[in-house]
Chain A
Amino acid sequence: MRQGPLARGEARRFYLFVSPWILGFVLFGGGPIVASAAISFTDWSLLSSPSFVGAANYVKLVQDPVFYTALGNTVYFAAASVGLGVVSTLGLALLLNLPLRGIAAFRTIFYLPSVVSGIATALLWVNILHPDFGMINYLLGLAGIQGPGWLTAEEWAVPALVLMSIWGAGNTIVIYLAGLQGIPQSLYEAAMIDGAGWWRRLRHITVPMLSPVVFFNVVTGFIASLQAYVLVLVMTKGGPANATLLLGLYVYRQAFEYFDMGYAAALSWALFAVVILVTLVQFRLARRWVHYEVA
């Protein structure tokens, strides 16, 4: 079929309008991605010109104990913050979906932290988590508990970061709320007629109907937290003893502290591989627990 003049005009307009993104894709998206892959096969310290070294950076990577430390920390941090985040934000969303007076104010309170989350709140948490002068150990002390060293203790530093990330995960509450409001009321009415109580309605209607939304939040939550590191860079710089060295932070360290651009690029591809792998596993597992309505 030949295209008429109108359709050709539309197509020309399409390319004109879409051109900022095409340029952006070449300059800041696809271009750098290809460049990054190429750089990962070079030895490049910025001071000298790059030299091709084959897969040397990847060989170095699989033999680098710090890489495995960072990988372990990253997976630990992501799994803990997504896992605990799902429980807390879903629980809050269920409460916030109740038809109660003043519920709008509560909703605002719970997603306020996610809005302001940034360097200011990261410094706030450094302060809150201080072993001696911080709020958390102060409150624990009131309950007669001697709090740990948090960011200064190897075994408590990642849990401390998880705590901060859950506090700032309010945007997932918004998504759960939207999902909850999309569940047809008629299902609940039918269940009530059949005499189903609160727990059975939750178990047999809310949970299966909401499972695609939970799945979405788990997948995007993992993608985001596997890549998180910027605030950690300021809070702990990866310490103590690399206990909070996340993969993204290790890329940053290699690139901007050691100026080893080739190795940094190789590490960033390893991170990408981890993200893809985790996402694929999620989709595989989803068959067992995510329920889709057949339209």
Chain B
Amino acid sequence: MRRNTPRLLAYLLLCGGAVVYLLPFLWMVTTALKSGDEVLAFPPEFVPSSFEWHNFPDAWTQLPFTRFLVNTLLITVLAVTGTLVSSILPAYAFARLPARGRGIMFAAMIATMMIPAEITLVPQFLMFTELGMVNTYWPLVLPAWFGYAYYIFLFRQFFRTIPQELSDAARIDGASHARILWSIMLPLAKPAIAAVTVFSVIGNWNNLLGPLIYLRDQDKYTLAIGLSLFQGQYTTAYHHMMAVSTLTIVPIVVLFFLAQKAFVRGITLTGIGGR
């Protein structure tokens, strides 16, 4: 009895909390299944009187969401690939290649993590305007190929946990640094690669600001922008809004469940969540 009471209390608190955290998701799905009239019924009901499954295709075709999906996938693949390549190389350098100025450069990199994105927003926009890259995917993809401080930091932390003896032995056998990175470090850094991939996919998938500032033509829009149009144009079509919202978070939820361990590892390694 005395041992079980605290345990029971903990379960009660956890279950209560879990309900609070999950209710919004439940509301999302049930709203997506309501009829257009029912979402505007007062008072609202949690469970729809009939499940309107056609809301999903209806909402999806209300705007060219298939097109938006293809655009989002294209940007995400290009940006994530760039992020991995351009973050792993500097991270290896910071972790394993001694050179004069390395410490100062590393400090400068950490310092950039604290500069608000708002500061670089205006000059970057002006630069891409000058380059004639507005209304193209360049502003959304190009920066990803030049290394993100946060991911470089994450990889560097991970590389430092890999025993130095492994690469020293390979050095003595005459292996180049590229070779050591590719054949020794990367296979051992799979959890870090998975974490950065997941963070970066989610970040690009959810990126709203970049597309909002740089994309003009509707056929170039991403899912995030397409969704935001609902808030502007079809304010009362909550069932359609929630149907598309549900569809856009499903891939992220699946990805999260597939890579949950890597995800948690990534957060605990650097102390910061994905961006």
Give chain A's interface residues, CB within 8 Å of chain B.
7, 10-11, 13-15, 17-25, 27-33, 35-36, 39, 46, 92, 95-96, 98, 100, 106, 108-110, 112-121, 123-128, 130, 132-135, 138, 141, 167, 171-172, 174-175, 178, 198, 216, 220, 223, 226-227, 230-231, 233-235, 247-248, 251-252, 255-256, 261, 264-265, 267-269, 271-272, 275, 279
Contacts and interface: CB of A to CB of B under 8 A. Distances in A.
Given A36-B119, A110-B17, A220-B271, A100 B249 contact: no
A138 B39 CA distance: 12
A133 B39 contact: yes
Given A28-B146, A119-B228, A216 B271 contact: yes
B221 interface: no
B252 A227 contact: no
Given A135-B24, A279-B114, 12 more contacts: A33-B123, A39-B122, A95-B10, A108-B257, A118-B206, A123-B227, A134-B44, A135-B27, A227-B118, A234-B208, A251-B118, A275-B116
Given A14-B98, A227-B118, A135 B126 contact: no
Interface in B144-190: 145-149, 152, 177
Given A28-B124, A109-B18, A123-B245, A133 B41 contact: yes
B202 to A, nearest CB: 7
15 contacts: A18-B94, A20-B90, A24-B143, A24-B146, A30-B112, A39-B122, A92-B17, A116-B252, A118-B206, A123-B228, A123-B241, A174-B264, A233-B209, A261-B126, A272-B115
B147 A24 contact: yes
A251 B209 CA distance: 13
B127 A32 contact: yes
Given A133-B41, A227-B117, A255-B125, A106 B18 contact: yes
A119 B118 contact: no
A29 B228 CA distance: 28
A116 B249 contact: yes
Contacts of A46: 126, 129
B97 A167 contact: no
Interface of B: 6-7, 10-11, 13-14, 17-18, 21-25, 27-28, 31, 39-44, 46, 85-86, 89-90, 92-94, 97-100, 102, 105, 108-109, 112, 114-127, 129, 143, 145-149, 152, 177, 202, 205-206, 208-209, 212-213, 224, 227-228, 230-231, 238, 241-242, 244-246, 248-249, 252-253, 256-257, 260, 263-264, 267-268, 271-274
Contact of B208 (A95, A118, A223, A269): A118
B106 to A, nearest CB: 9
Contacts of B121: 251-252, 255, 264, 268
Contacts of A7: 98
B231 A17 contact: no
B7 A271 contact: no
A142 B102 CA distance: 62
**Interface residues of chain A: helix, strand, loop or mixed (majority):** helix
B93 A18 contact: yes
Given A21-B147, A118-B205, A227 B116 contact: yes
A269 B119 CA distance: 7
Nearest to A10: B97
A228 B252 CA distance: 22
Closest 9 CB pairs of A and B: A24-B146, A171-B273, A118-B206, A14-B99, A17-B93, A32-B123, A35-B123, A11-B99, A14-B97
A127 B241 contact: yes
Contacts of B86: 20-21, 24
Contacts of B41: 133
A43 B10 CA distance: 59
A271 B116 contact: yes
B97 A39 contact: no
B272 A235 contact: no
B144 to A, nearest CB: 9
B255 to A, nearest CB: 9
